[in-house]
């Protein structure tokens, strides 16, 4: 029994370390407690609970989208947004992420990137900066771009309107 408990603890710790081992996870971790940032983090457990809720006003399509997500994180600040934007872009391993959309005009810059395994999109990443601030947003799970775009529109998430026309290469 004791051996089983140690094995469980080891696997749990290894999974937690692995989840924070990627560059984006480290970036979030670095600024998680920084009072200059607004942080939103939805855990896998919350998505599991949300998928079981009877949502009469939500389409089955959106409910299915939510059930396939494992995490959702937003990190946003108005403080020195261009410095944080450059730092975040510097953390992204371009071998792991494929850039889908870039919307740039003046001092505004929105970049959508995906991380895939085979034909499955595992993460959708938004890195954005404009006159109002810097935002880093990450969806992790089994991702359908059309459905995530509709979810973003339903939740009125700034920048997600740029995703609706994305087509994967």
Q: What is the β-pairing status of strands 69-77 and 37-42?
A: antiparallel
Instruction: Give, in degrees to the nearest 5, the angle at Cα 143 between 140 and 149.
Output: 105
Give the whole-angstrom CA distance, residue 80 versus residue 75.
14
Q: What is the pLDDT along the chain (169 residues), one digit of tens a residue?
A: 333 333 333 333 333 333 434 778 889 999 999 999 999 999 888 888 877 777 666 677 777 777 788 889 999 999 999 999 999 999 998 889 999 999 999 989 999 999 988 888 899 999 999 999 999 999 899 888 777 777 777 767 666 666 665 554 4
Q: Where are the domains of the chain?
A: 2-163
Q: Is the pTM of this model over 0.75?
A: no
In sequence order, what DSSP letters do the residues of 71-88 get, joined into one string?
A: EEEEEEESSSHHHHHHHH
Token pair 């200059």 is found at: 36
Predicted pLDDT at 145 = 78
Q: Residue 132's closest CA among 82, 95, 91?
A: 82
Exposure letters 88-99 (e unless 16+ CB within 10 A, then b): beebbeeebbee
Q: Residue 143's closest CA among 100, 102, 114, 103?
A: 114
């Amino acid at each position: 029994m004791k051996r089983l408990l140690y094995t469980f603890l080891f696997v749990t710790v290894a999974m937690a370390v692995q989840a924070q081992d990627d560059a984006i996870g480290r970036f979030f971790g670095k600024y998680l407690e920084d009072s200059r940032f607004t942080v939103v983090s939805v855990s896998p457990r919350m998505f599991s609970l949300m998928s079981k809720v009877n949502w009469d006003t939500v389409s089955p399509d959106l409910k299915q989208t939510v059930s396939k997500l494992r995490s959702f994180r937003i990190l946003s600040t108005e403080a020195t947004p261009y410095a944080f934007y450059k730092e975040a872009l510097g953390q992204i391993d371009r071998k792991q992420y494929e850039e889908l959309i870039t919307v740039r005009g003046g001092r505004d810059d929105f970049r959508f990137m995906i991380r895939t395994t085979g034909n499955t999109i595992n993460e959708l990443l938004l890195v954005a900066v404009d006159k109002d601030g810097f935002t880093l947003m990450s969806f992790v799970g089994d991702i359908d771009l059309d459905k995530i775009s509709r979810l973003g529109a339903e939740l009125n998430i700034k920048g997600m309107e740029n995703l609706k026309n994305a087509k994967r290469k």
